[in-house]
Amino acid sequence: MCDAYKLFVQLQMDKRGIDCDDLHATIRDNLDLPITKDEVFIIFYKVDKDGDGFWSFSEMSDAFTPRETEYKTLVDSRGGFYGGESDLKNYFEGETRECLKRFIRGFCECEISVELIRQRIMNKLAVKPDMAFKCLDRDSKGYLVINDVREFLRGQNMYPIEKNLGLLIERFDKSEDDTVDYDEFVTGITPFLSGLTDN
C-alpha cells in the first residue's frame, strides 16, 4: 500500500497527501486510463472522508484495501517494494497495474451510478431531506443508526444482509462514529455534480 500511495502522491512524500490533480495525473498519464474530470472529482471526494482536500495514507488505505480483515491485514503487512525507484512508470508489474486500473474503473462506475441515483432522488422525486430524515429516524433521536435503516427497509419488504447495511451506513457516516447525523444524511443524498445526465 505504501507503494500505491507513493505512486499517487507522485513521490512528493512531504505533501499533506494526494490532491485531486495528483489523482487525475496518475490515472491519466501513468496508468493510461481514460477518465473525466467529473469521475476524478467524484472518487476523490468519496475517499477524502475528512474533506481537507487531500487523501491521507489512511484514507487511501481504507478505500483501497479489502473489507475482509484477513485480506486487509495481508495487504497492510506488505512492505514497500519500490523504495529507491524514482520513475513512477516502473511502479508495479503489468498484471498488478491492470488490477489497479480495473479497480479504479469499477470504483468510478459504482460512484457514478450512486450519483445518478442521488440526482434522480433529488430531481425527479423532489424528496425533502428533512422529511426523509424524520421518516428514517424512528424515535426522533436526531441521528440514524443501523437499526433505523434496517427497520425502514423491512417496512419496504427489503432484507439486506448485515454487511451491506454496514456499508450503507459507512457511505453516509463521514465522521466514523457509526451514526448518521442530519448533515451527513443531506450530504449523502445531495448530488455532487450537475453535469451528469441520467440516461
Residue ranges binding Ca ion (CB under 5 A): 48, 50, 52, 54, 173, 175, 177, 179
- The residue (of 17 and 27) whose beta carbon lies closer to Ca ion is 17
Q: Which residue is nearest to Ca ion (CB)?
A: 175
- The residue (of 92 and 181) whose beta carbon lies closer to Ca ion is 181
- The residue (of 57 and 82) whose beta carbon lies closer to Ca ion is 57
- The residue (of 108 and 169) whose beta carbon lies closer to Ca ion is 169
CB of 62 to Ca ion, least distance (A): 11
DSSP 67: S
What residues form DSSP beta bridges with 143?
A: 181
What residues form DSSP beta bridges with 10?
A: none
CB of 146 to Ca ion, least distance (A): 12
The Cα–Cα gap between 64 and 52 comes to 19
Cell of 104: 479504479
The Cα–Cα gap between 173 and 183 comes to 10
User: Which positions ≥6 away from 23 have C-beta within 8 Å?
Assistant: 8, 40, 43, 44, 55
CB of 149 to Ca ion, least distance (A): 13
Report yes or no: 60 and 77 within 8 Å, Cβ to Cβ.
Answer: no
- The residue (of 19 and 119) whose beta carbon lies closer to Ca ion is 19
Torsion of CA 124, 126, 40, 16, to 10 degrees: 180
CB of 136 to Ca ion, least distance (A): 14
Cell of 139: 424515535
CB of 15 to Ca ion, least distance (A): 12
- The residue (of 100 and 180) whose beta carbon lies closer to Ca ion is 180
User: Which positions ≥6 away from 70 have C-beta within 8 Å?
Assistant: none
CB of 139 to Ca ion, least distance (A): 18
